[in-house]
Structure 1
Amino acid sequence: MKRMKSSKKMFALCLIFLLLRKIAATHLSAKHLVSANIGDIVTLPCSHENSLALKFLWYKQTLGEHPKILSTFNDYDNNATFLNEFKDDHRFSVQIGKTINKLSISDLRLSDSATYYCGSSYSNKVEFGKGFIVIVKGSGFRKTSVVQQPESESVHPGDSVSLNCTINTGTCEGEHSVYWFRRDSGESPPGIISTNGDRSGQCMKSSESGSPTQSCVYNLPKRNLSLSDTGTYYCAVESGGEILFGNGTKLEVLYQNRLLLVYCLGVALGVSFILIIVLTCIMYKIKKRTCLQCRGYIFHSQAPGDPSMGHDADNLQYVALNLNKNMSRRQRKNTEEETVVLYSSIRQ
């Protein structure tokens, strides 16, 4: 019995690995990870421009299961044909255009969590196009919930961190498997980085809510982190035939010299401010000294003994004033006669 369970888990893991490799080969970018809530509507576009195919298909790949054909339609027909259990499920619809078709899923359910990808058939060969990983988040009324902590974490290169995935179940029975995905900020697809197929996490029973519940905590240790470890980490739990996804933990590995850069910028700003003050003082002193020199030059150029005025000697008039007229006799005897000569320049 244990051998059958282990082989089943290995088979599911191989399918997941092959699916992710196929998605990576079709240039699946980070934007093709779609997260929605129960009851929402999602639309998945698939372009078939410049394609020679005459038949197009949509597939659904549930975690741990084989891919299933969801719908098919021909290039010359505007109606899609739904197959398998999707035949009578009116929540699925396909909008067909000349160069693009869109798969719409309304009234989302938890069972809709899967990977959807389109394909084109030509000469008995099927080529896969874009893939979309759809994550349907459950409501708070479910007995099973998945919570990831912390929601975000900022670390430096070389640090270590432990990401937690807590599974709250309504009963203490049953088994579940845990898978860890990482989506980076680039164009590479989300990929499985760790699996925990066995219940080796720390489980605790609680009856505070009136009914027995169980919380299992699974840890993903990350040591000696580097810039390539930056991204959003999701844990997926397989429980009771359903796949539940956590809310994700955003891990950001900061540059090691970012703090040093802040310090350097602060010092540079302070030095620049001091230089501005010093240059302002120097300019003020230079301007003040220049003004004083200008005033001295003007005074010197206007002095009576200025040689520059010698060539205008013919235009000068001399007037002698006797300032002793109003002096007393005593003052006139003790003081020599003073004569003041005024020079008046006459412009012609």
Structure 2
Amino acid sequence: MIGRLVPLILLSTLEIPQQMSLHEAKLGDDVNLTCVKNNAEFSYWYKLNFGYLLETVAKGTYGRISLSGQFNNSRFSATKVGHVHSLIIRNVSKEDEATYLCHAGSVYETEFINGTILAVKDPKTQLKSVTVKQTPDMESVHLGDTMTLQCSLLSKNKNDTDQCPGEDKVHWFKGGSESHPGVIYHGNVRNKEDGRCDYSLSKTVTNSSDAGTYYCAVVTCSEILFGEGTKVVTSIAVLVTLLIFSVLVNFGLIVSRKKKPTCEQSKGTVVHHISITPHLCVYTLIV
């Protein structure tokens, strides 16, 4: 019982990974997940599936690594080479689809290094009857404003709206940021009509760390479908980009003006003397 509580205590007392990535693999592929931690005395790999408790996949103590429970089989292996910790999953299946967290450190301090969302695609079902689309592709907002992102589950069968997953089956997360990407946001259902289920996420942008790419994930009866992502940028980031561009343009103009002018002699004119200053050509003519 104590062993089961440990992962929950870790999650409640430590910061979650600051790096969250999406890894797509085909059914039957071999997957290698890695994280880097210098001088780690302890290391853990956890599996977190939507709607389930955290599971310990592997744990290492002073270089000795062992697999836990159902993961102690030939498909799973964990290694440590130098500062690189690896979790290898062979012949991946739909059951392996989840978020995998790397947790490592010393007796004095441990932390979550990163997290990887593993999505397993079945080539036999490439022609999906259901797809996920996110809108807009990019959203520019001011600090203090509320952004609204939309995730739509589209079905070729217009009668499928009765099968729209509930709000608890639609998850939002932010990848590759300095804030809490491990925090999964939940939105609400906006519309159900003609083979279309619309979900939305409304969030107030309080600081620049809220910028990033937001993804939606819809849990269906057969698989987890991911959106392509919506990139959210703050107005400050846009202004900084424009300022840098303006500085570069002005710098180019200043440099070009410092170049000495080329004084050319007009045809048919007799020049007695030409005096050139940095910004002026003076011609003395014979009258």
TM-score tier (shorter) = 0.5 to 0.7
CA 1:218 to 1:269, structure 2 compared with 1: closer, same or farther past 3 Å?
same
The structure whose Rg is larger is 1
Tell whether 2:26 aligns with 1:38: yes
* Structure 1 partner of 2:90: 106
Q: Which is strand-richer, 1 or 2?
A: 2
In structure 1, the gaps of 5 or more residues are 1-16, 206-213, 293-348
CA shift for structure 1 position 218: 1.1
Could you give the per-residue CA deviations for residues 110-156 of structure 1, whole angstroms, max 9, x where no partner exists? 44332323457999x99564342324164633444322223334456
* Structure 1 partner of 2:48: 61
TM-score normalised by length of structure 2:
0.64
Q: How many residues align?
A: 253
* Structure 2 partner of 1:195: 186
* Structure 2 partner of 1:180: 172
Q: 2:152 aligns with which of 141, 147, 166?
A: 166
CA 1:266 to 1:44, structure 2 compared with 1: closer, same or farther past 3 Å?
closer
CA shift for structure 1 position 96: 4.3
Q: 1:204 aligns with which of 179, 182, 193?
A: 193
Does the aligned pair in 2 maintain the 1:41–1:105 contact within 8 Å? yes
CA shift for structure 1 position 165: 0.6
Q: 2:215 aligns with which of 234, 244, 263?
A: 234
Q: Which residue identity is paired with 2:233? A: E
- d(CA) in 2 for partners of 1:130, 1:98: 16
Report 1:281-292 matches (<5 A).
283-285=280-282
CA shift for structure 1 position 82: 4.5
Once the two structures are aligned, what percentage of the paired residues are identical? 26
CA shift for structure 1 position 75: 4.8
- Give secondary structure in 2 for the equivalent of 1:194: coil
* Structure 1 partner of 2:265: none
- Give secondary structure in 2 for the equivalent of 1:251: strand
Q: Which is helix-richer, 1 or 2?
A: 1
Q: Which residue identity is paired with 2:24? A: A
Q: Which residue identity is paired with 1:71? A: A
Q: 2:238 aligns with which of 251, 255, 260?
A: 255
- d(CA) in 2 for partners of 1:194, 1:118: 21
Does the aligned pair in 2 maintain the 1:71–1:83 contact within 8 Å? no
- d(CA) in 2 for partners of 1:173, 1:24: 36
In structure 2, the gaps of 5 or more residues are 1-7, 263-275
* Structure 1 partner of 2:127: 141
CA 1:68 to 1:217, structure 2 compared with 1: closer, same or farther past 3 Å?
same
- d(CA) in 2 for partners of 1:269, 1:34: 41
CA 1:164 to 1:138, structure 2 compared with 1: closer, same or farther past 3 Å?
farther
Q: Which residue identity is paired with 1:34? A: L
CA shift for structure 1 position 194: 3.3
* RMSD (Å) for aligned C-alpha atoms: 4.5
Report 1:1-348 matches (<5 A).
24=15, 28-30=17-19, 32-39=20-27, 40-46=29-35, 50-52=39-41, 57-72=44-59, 75=62, 80-84=66-70, 86-88=71-73, 90-97=74-81, 100-118=84-102, 129-136=112-119, 138=121, 140-154=126-140, 161-169=147-155, 171=160, 172-173=162-163, 175-176=165-166, 177-183=169-175, 185=177, 187-192=178-183, 194-196=185-187, 200-205=189-194, 214-221=195-202, 227-240=208-221, 242-253=223-234, 254-256=237-239, 259=242, 283-285=280-282
Q: Which residue identity is paired with 1:132? A: G
Does the aligned pair in 1 maintain the 2:173–2:182 contact within 8 Å? yes
- d(CA) in 2 for partners of 1:58, 1:166: 33
- d(CA) in 1 for partners of 2:281, 2:9: 76
- d(CA) in 2 for partners of 1:217, 1:145: 12
- Give secondary structure in 1 for the equivalent of 2:150: strand
- d(CA) in 2 for partners of 1:262, 1:81: 53
Could you give the per-residue CA deviations for residues 198-241 of structure 1, whole angstroms, max 9, x where no partner exists? 6x321123xxxxxxxx3211123456786443200011223338
Does the aligned pair in 1 maintain the 2:192–2:198 contact within 8 Å? yes
Q: Which residue identity is paired with 2:229? A: G
Choose between structure 1 and 2 for higher RCO, CA contacts under 8 A separated by at least 6 residues: 2
Does the aligned pair in 1 maintain the 2:78–2:85 contact within 8 Å? yes
